[in-house]
Structure 1
Amino acid sequence: MKSFLIGTGLSLIGILLSIIIWDVHMISTITSGIGFIFFIVACIFSGAFVNGDRMRANTAMETKESWIQRNTIAWCSLNMAIPNFAVAFIFYYYLGY
């Protein structure tokens, strides 16, 4: 839940920065960029970019604590990406692209 609130805060900061520094039409670009960064981090830590042999080798050699830490980072990153994608989606259709 804390990571979801951090993602919401980052999306609000992205909204404010785009309104103050750039144009209001940059809101969807900035928030989707932030969401994309966190989504890529979640994919990297979950092991979505490796094939089955490498994933089997990685999971065979890791401890329970490192597995929990890796999955926690992946889920927290995904929870930070979700509000940014939601804000980008809303403003994309709200501003009429």
Structure 2
Amino acid sequence: MRYVVIGTTVSMLGVVVSMLLWGAQQAYFLPGIAGFICLAVSMLLSGALVSGDRMRANFATETTAGRHERHHVMTRALLLAVPNLIVAIIAYTLYS
């Protein structure tokens, strides 16, 4: 829940800064960038972008503690990405 609140705060600040820098038509810009960066980090850490043999090799050589930590960071990045993307979509539909 804490990361959702942090993501929402970052997205609201991003909307305000985007509106100050580029106007209301570009209010979605910074929250969209932050959301896509967090989503890309989450996808990389989940292993969604590698082939099956690479995924098997990674799981075979990874410790349980390392896998657990990677899963937590992936989940946190996803929880940060979702509010940013939602606010970016709402700002895009409202101001464009």
- TM-score of the two chains, using structure 1 as the length reference: 0.92
Aligned ranges 1:82-97 → 2 under 5 Å = 82-95=82-95, 97=96
For residues 4-63 of structure 1, what are the alpha-carbon distances to aligned partners after superposition, in whole Å with 9 as ceiling and x for unaligned?
111111101101211222211111122111100000000010011110000001001111
1:29-68 aligned within 5 A: 29-68=29-68
**C-alpha root-mean-square deviation of aligned residues, in Å?**
1.0
Which amino acid is 1:75 matched to?
T
Q: Give 3-state SS (helix, strand or coil) of 2:28's partner.
A: helix
AA at the equivalent of 1:45? L
* TM-score normalised by length of structure 2: 0.93
Identity %: 36
The runs of at least 4 consecutive aligned structure 1 residues that moved more than 3 Å come to none
Structure 2: gaps of 5 or more residues: none
What is the aligned residue count? 96
